[in-house]
Structure 1
Amino acid sequence: MVSLAKNVNLLVTFLLELGVLASAGIWGFTAGQTWPVRLLLGLGGPALFVAVWAVFGAANDPVIPLTGFARVVLEVLWFGGGATALVAAGRVVPGVAFAAVFVVNAVLRIVWKQ
Structure 2
Amino acid sequence: MKRKLAMTGFKDPYESDSNVDEVYEYNSGDDVDDGNKQSFIEKEAEKIREKGKAAYFKRGKFRCPYYTTKPKPKDGLYEHLMSHARGLSTSAHEIKIRAEHATLLKAMGPI
TM-score normalized with structure 2 length: 0.29
Give 1 or 2 for the bigger CA radius of gyration: 2
> Which protein has the bigger helix share?
1
TM-score normalized with structure 1 length: 0.28
